[in-house]
Chain A
Amino acid sequence: MSVWNWLALGGAAVVALAVVAEARRRALSGPRGRRFFRHPTAMPGTFVLAFFVTIAVAAPAVAPYPPYYQIDVVHPDQPPSVRFPLGTDPLSRDVWSRLAYGARISLGIGTLAMVVAVTLGAAVGAVAGYFRGSVDAALMRVVDVALAMPRIFVLLMAVALWEHLPLWVLVLLIGLTGWFGTSRLVRAEVLSLREREFVSAARALGARSGHIIFRHVLPNAAAPIIVSAALGIGNVMLLEAGLSFLGMGVPSPAPSWGNMIADGLPKMAVAPWSATFPGLAISLVVMALNAIGDALRDALDPRRETA
Chain B
Amino acid sequence: MTEPLLRVRDLKTYFVTEQGRGTARAVDGVSFEVQPGETLGIVGESGCGKTVTSLSILRLIPEPPGHVRPGSFIEFEGRNLLTLEPRELRAIRGNEIAMIFQEPMTSLNPVFTVGDQIAEAAIVHQGLGRAAARARAIEMLRLVGIPDPDERVDHYPHQMSGGMRQRVMIAMALVCRPKLLIADEPTTALDVTIQAQILELLDRLQAELGMAVMLITHDLGVVAGSADRVVVMYAGQVVEQAPTPELFARPLHPYTEGLLASVPRLDAPPAGARAGGRLHSIPGQVPAATAWPSGCRFHPRCPYAWDRCRAEEPPLLDAAGTGGTGPGSHTVRCWLLTEPRRRTPAPRP
Q: Do A and B come from one complex?
A: yes
**Which residues, 272 to 307 on A, are CB-close (under 8 Å) to B?**
306
A-chain residues with CB within 8 Å of residue B18 when the two chains form the complex:
31, 34, 306
| Chain B interface helix/strand/loop/mixed | loop
Interface size class of B (residues with CB under 8 A): under 10
User: Footprint of A on B, CB under 8 Å?
Assistant: 18-19
**Complex formed: what's the CA distance from A276 to B223 in Å?**
75
Closest to A29 in B: B20
Number of residues on chain A facing chain B (CB within 8 A): 3
Q: List 4 A-B contacts (CB under 8 A).
A: A31-B18, A34-B18, A34-B19, A306-B18
Please give the distance in Å from B45's CB to the nearest CB on chain A.
16
Tell me the bound Cα distance from A167 to B19 in angstroms: 48
Residues on B with beta carbons closer than 8 Å to the beta carbon of A34: 18-19
> Which chain B residues border A31 with CB–CB below 8 Å?
18
User: A34 to B19, alpha carbons, bound, how many Å?
Assistant: 9
A306, B19: Cα distance in complex, Å: 13
Closest to A28 in B: B19
Contacts of A306 in B (CB 8 A): 18
CA A191 to CA B332, docked complex, whole Å: 51
Q: How far is the CB of A34 from chain B (nearest CB, A)?
A: 7
Q: Nearest Cβ in chain A — how far from B65, in angstroms?
A: 11
Closest Cβ–Cβ distance, residue A25 to chain B (whole Å): 15
Min CB gap B26→A, angstroms: 15
Interface bits A28-52 vs B (CB < 8 Å: 1, else 0): 0001001000000000000000000
**A31→B19 CA distance, assembly (Å):** 8
Prevailing SS type, chain A contact patch: helix
**A34 vs B18: C-alpha distance when bound (angstroms):** 9
When chains A and B are docked, how far (Å) is the Cα of A31 from the Cα of B18?
8
- Which residue of B has the minimal Cβ distance to A304? B18
Q: How close is A68's CB to chain B, nearest CB, in angstroms?
A: 52
B155 to chain A, nearest CB (A): 29
**Closest partner residue, chain A, to B17 (CB atom):** A306
Q: Which of A36-82 contact B (CB under 8 A)?
A: none
Closest to A30 in B: B20
Give CA–CA (A127, B204) in the complex, Å. Answer: 56
Query: A93 CB to closest chain B CB, in angstroms?
Result: 51
- CB proximity of B66 to chain A, nearest CB, Å: 15
Nearest-Cβ distance from residue A302 to partner chain B, whole angstroms: 16
* Shortest CB distance B185–A (Å): 20
* Contact partners of B19 in chain A: CB under 8 A: 34
Name A4-36 residues within 8 Å CB distance of B.
31, 34
- Taking the closest CB of chain B, its distance from the CB of A285, in whole angstroms, is 31
When C-beta atoms are compared, the residue in chain B nearest to A31 turns out to be: B18
B129 to chain A, nearest CB (A): 42
Closest to B19 in A: A34
Chain A proximity of B303: nearest CB distance (Å): 29
Tell me the bound Cα distance from A231 to B273 in angstroms. Answer: 58
Across the interface, name the chain B residue whose C-beta is closest to A306.
B18
Distance between B20 CB and nearest chain A CB, rounded to angstroms? 8
CB distance from B344 to the nearest CB of A (A): 39
In Å, the complex CA distance between A34 and B21 comes to 13
Give chain B nearest CB distance to A307 CB in angstroms. 9
Give Cα A306 to B18, complex, Å.
10
The distance in angstroms between the C-alpha atoms of A31 and B17, with both chains bound, is: 11
Ordered nearest first, which 4 A-B pairs have the shortest CB separation? A31-B18, A34-B19, A34-B18, A306-B18
Q: Look across to chain A and name the residue whose beta carbon is closest to the beta carbon of B288.
A: A307
A26 CB → nearest B CB, Å: 15
Complex CA gap A145/B169 in Å reads 47
> Closest CB of chain B to A187's CB: distance in Å?
26
How many Å from the CB of B84 to the closest CB on chain A? 32
Query: Once bound together, how far apart are the Cα atoms of A150 and B19, in whole Å?
Result: 47
Closest-CB distance, A122 to chain B (whole angstroms): 30
Interchain CA distance A74-B18 in the complex, whole Å:
63
Q: In the bound complex, how far is the Cα of B17 from the Cα of A34, in angstroms?
A: 13
Q: Report A29 CB to chain B, min CB distance, Å.
A: 9
Q: A14 to chain B: closest CB distance in Å?
A: 29
A36 to chain B, nearest CB (A): 13
Whole-angstrom distance between the Cβ of B18 and the nearest chain A Cβ: 6
A33 to chain B, nearest CB (A): 11
Nearest residue, chain A, Cβ from B18: A31
Shortest CB distance B76–A (Å): 33
Q: How close is A281's CB to chain B, nearest CB, in angstroms?
A: 36
Contact string against B for A residues 115-131, beta-carbon threshold 8 Å, 1 for contact and 0 otherwise: 00000000000000000
- Smallest distance from the beta carbon of B206 to chain A beta carbons, Å? 37
Least Cβ–Cβ distance between A103 and chain B, in angstroms: 36
Cα-based distance from A80 to B28 in the complex (angstroms): 68
Question: Measured between alpha carbons, how far is A101 from B19 in the docked complex, in Å?
Answer: 43
